[in-house]
């Protein structure tokens, strides 16, 4: 396989995989509007449907990351994509709440191992000095998928929401064929990767689970990512409903507004990688803290709900400020965690992150039900949680190497 393909083909394929996953994931924020209308679900019931995805996602993330470390990222990815096809075909056929919840749970189960597996794919195919930036570039797929799902998906959903999911099923099949051809196996490249070389600290036999639970930063990562994903999902899953109920916008208008948000934020992940590598290196905790403070201010403005365009501008700016700390926590392990443990470490972070995503839709749905459908309390709660998460990162995250030895014999940040 040519060096050119190893350099660009693998990361491109991993981005296409993540695009497909995020496209399917994003559809529900628009599809929930006609689904609620058709089946008469309350806000809390709709929140449960969206939360079921995150529960399945969370439960499989840790074992999925561990399995990717053991048997290879490619096998895990192919299994995930295959199960996703089944879920995308079955979801439009559901007719009762329990079936919607079950299929969403299975879809989350299918998607949950993808971030850890693709992170493993980056780690075994690229040198350590390039991984943080490549991980940031990989996140761009999420923003592109959000734009396509909200713009094209909104148009398809306005015709018939079932069509959008059958479109996702076809896309998954194409991505499976691409992945089978384009992704190398772990064994092909792991022999030449940085941490697998003889004598590397990460090549020792310390348990990956033991490493994860003994490292201070991993604890801070997991606490913060829970709160950051709660905020991110709590906002993103309900923006469409906010614009629909508070400002009486139709699906096509909402899709246009929110798709522009995804389009604007395409540069967020690479910008985060550049800022962490060049500007805030060693001071990542301050970067995270400032991002959460700005986010809290934006949510306070949206809570007022006085003007459509003020709210839209806040949504667009929040597309960056809510993603900054999320991407930071998701990319920093590429620099701070040895390659042999990266799948497990990212599995833990993804699992805890997903529990935040599980709590968020139901929490916001409950707040809306007890607030007669108004969003003021919901946005204030998200603002407060953002400040708390920022303070935890500021005072808890150790971003400079202290020289403390770990049990594997390497120098790790504590």
Q: Give the model confidence (pLDDT) of 343-357 as tens digits.
A: 777 777 877 877 887
Q: Judge whether 321 and 298 are in contact, CB under 8 Å.
A: yes
The predicted pLDDT at position 201 comes to 42
Tell me which residue of 362, 377, 267, 378 sits closest to 323, measured CA to CA: 267
Query: Residue written as tokens 């075909």?
Result: 89
Q: Which residues contact 274 (CB under 8 A, 6 or more apart)?
A: 133, 136
Residue 21 — pLDDT band, cuts 50, 70, 90?
Answer: very high
Tokens of 283: 């001071």
Q: How far apart are CA 319 and CA 303, in angstroms?
A: 16
pLDDT 10s digits, 164-188: 999 999 999 999 999 998 888 654 4
The predicted pLDDT at position 398 comes to 79
List C-alpha distances in Å: 321 to 231, 324, 332, 379, 398: 11, 5, 17, 15, 22
The predicted pLDDT at position 4 comes to 56
pLDDT of 408 strictly over 50: no
Q: Give the global pTM.
A: 0.67
pLDDT 10s digits, 360-400: 877 888 888 888 878 889 999 999 999 999 999 999 887 66
Structural domains of the chain, ranges and CATH numbers in brackets: 8-186+208-396 (1.20.1250.20)
Q: Which of 67-71, 158-162, 274-278, 287-291 has the highest mean pLDDT?
A: 287-291
The predicted pLDDT at position 121 comes to 85
pLDDT of 191 strictly over 70: no
The predicted pLDDT at position 258 comes to 84
pLDDT of 198 strictly over 70: no
Q: State the burial class of residue 200 (Cβ atoms within 10 Å of its Cβ: 0-12, 13-18, 19+).
A: middle
Rounded to an integer, the average pLDDT of 70-83 is 90
DSSP per-residue letters across 205-222: ---HHHHHHH-HHHHHHH
List helix spans (H) across 201-304: 208-214, 216-247, 251-264, 268-274, 284-304
The predicted pLDDT at position 414 comes to 30
């Amino acid at each position: 396989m040519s060096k050119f393909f190893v350099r660009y083909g693998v990361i491109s394929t991993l981005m296409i995989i993540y695009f497909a996953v995020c496209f399917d994931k994003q559809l529900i924020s628009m599809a929930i509007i006609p689904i609620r209308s058709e089946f008469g679900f309350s806000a809390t019931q709709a929140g449960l449907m969206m939360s079921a995805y995150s529960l399945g996602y969370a439960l499989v993330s840790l074992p999925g990351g561990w399995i990717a470390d053991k048997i290879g990222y490619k096998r895990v990815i192919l299994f995930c994509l295959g199960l996703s096809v089944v879920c995308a075909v079955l979801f439009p056929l559901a007719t009762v709440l329990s079936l919607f919840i079950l299929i969403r749970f299975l879809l989350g189960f299918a998607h949950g191992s993808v971030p850890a597996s693709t992170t493993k794919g980056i780690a075994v195919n690229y040198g350590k000095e390039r991984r943080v930036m490549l991980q940031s570039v990989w996140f761009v797929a999420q923003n592109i998928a959000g734009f396509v799902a909200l713009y094209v998906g909104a148009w398809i959903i306005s015709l018939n929401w079932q069509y959008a999911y059958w479109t996702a099923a076809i896309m998954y099949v194409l991505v499976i064929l691409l992945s089978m051809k384009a992704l190398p196996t772990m064994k092909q490249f792991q022999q030449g990767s940085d941490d697998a070389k003889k004598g590397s600290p990460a090549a020792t036999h310390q348990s990956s689970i033991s490493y994860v639970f003994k490292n201070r930063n991993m604890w801070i990562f997991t606490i913060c990512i829970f709160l950051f994903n709660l905020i991110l999902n709590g906002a993103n899953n309900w923006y469409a409903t906010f614009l629909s109920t508070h400002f009486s916008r139709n699906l096509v208008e909402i899709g246009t507004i929110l798709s522009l948000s995804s389009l604007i934020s395409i540069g967020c992940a690479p910008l985060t990688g550049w800022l962490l590598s060049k500007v805030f290196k060693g001071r990542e905790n301050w970067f995270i803290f400032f991002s959460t403070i700005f986010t809290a201010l934006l949510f306070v403005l949206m809570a007022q709900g006085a003007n459509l365009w003020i709210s839209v501008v806040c949504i667009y700016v929040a597309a960056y400020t809510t993603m900054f700390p999320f991407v930071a926590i998701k990319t920093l392990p590429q620099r701070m965690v040895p390659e042999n443990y990266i799948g497990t470490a990212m599995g833990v972070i993804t699992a805890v992150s997903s529990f935040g995503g599980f709590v968020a839709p139901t929490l916001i749905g409950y707040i809306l039900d007890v607030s007669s459908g108004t969003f003021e309390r919901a946005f204030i709660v998200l603002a407060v949680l953002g400040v708390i998460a920022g303070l935890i990162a500021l005072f808890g995250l150790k971003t400079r190497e202290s020289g403390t030895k770990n049990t594997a014999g390497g120098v790790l940040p504590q």
